[in-house]
């Protein structure tokens, strides 16, 4: 599968686009649409800056990598586009290793229609040991897209 329009919009809405490197809520250098690394694996560092065109290019390239990683871990499980997009947003934010180890993935692989998947999304709202409203809103939006098939942004 590929990243769909709704998934792209969800990621971009919650990541925003920053053209100068900044530290995220746990002190990791980030640029563009929440990118902590460039395509070559080099980490974003203090002082880095990019153009809007480069931010969009970086988004596309990193999205292709995340999509590839998620396609490998879902192992051919049949998902609807909205469910897949939701998983891409989650993985964009949390990383493929966290997805691989999560009960969220286990439940999706067993039964993508399991209502308790909502609870699994909502477990991932902490950064640096603190619950963050932005992460809670993002997870609620990811669940909404996953379950209802439409974008809804929580504030």
Domain residue ranges in the chain: 5-148
Please name the residue that has the structure tokens 């902490």. Answer: 126
Q: What tens digit of pLDDT does each residue of 117-140 get? A: 999 999 999 999 999 999 999 999
Catalytic, 15? Answer yes
Find the mean pLDDT for residues 71-99. 96
Q: Mark out the alpha helices in 1-155 (DSSP H runs).
A: 5-15, 52-74, 81-94, 96-101, 103-110, 117-122, 133-148
For residues 113, 75, 12, 60, the Cα torsion angle rounded to the nearest 10 degrees is: -160
pLDDT of 76 over the 90 cut: no
Q: Percent of the chain at pLDDT above 90? A: 97
Contact 108, 74 (CB under 8 A): yes
Catalytic member of 15, 39, 60, 94? 15
Q: Place 152 in a pLDDT band, splitting at 50, 70 and 90.
A: very high
pLDDT of 109 over the 90 cut: yes
Q: Place 52 in a pLDDT band, splitting at 50, 70 and 90.
A: very high
For 5-148, give the CATH class: mainly alpha
pLDDT of 63 over the 90 cut: yes
pLDDT of 14 over the 90 cut: yes
């Amino acid at each position: 599968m590929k990243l769909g329009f709704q998934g792209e919009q969800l990621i971009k809405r919650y990541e925003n686009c920053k053209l100068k490197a900044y530290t995220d809520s746990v002190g990791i250098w980030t640029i563009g649409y929440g990118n902590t690394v460039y395509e070559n694996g080099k980490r974003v560092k203090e002082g880095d800056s990019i153009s809007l065109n480069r931010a969009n290019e970086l988004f596309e390239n990193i999205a292709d990598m995340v999509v590839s990683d998620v396609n490998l871990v879902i192992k051919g499980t049949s998902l609807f586009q909205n469910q897949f997009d939701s998983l891409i947003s989650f993985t964009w934010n949390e990383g493929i290793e966290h997805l691989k180890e999560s009960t969220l993935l286990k439940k999706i692989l067993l039964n993508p229609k399991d209502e308790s998947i909502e609870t699994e999304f909502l477990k991932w709202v902490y950064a640096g040991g603190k619950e963050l409203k932005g992460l809670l809103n993002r997870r609620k939006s990811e669940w909404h897209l996953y379950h209802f098939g439409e974008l809804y942004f929580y504030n």
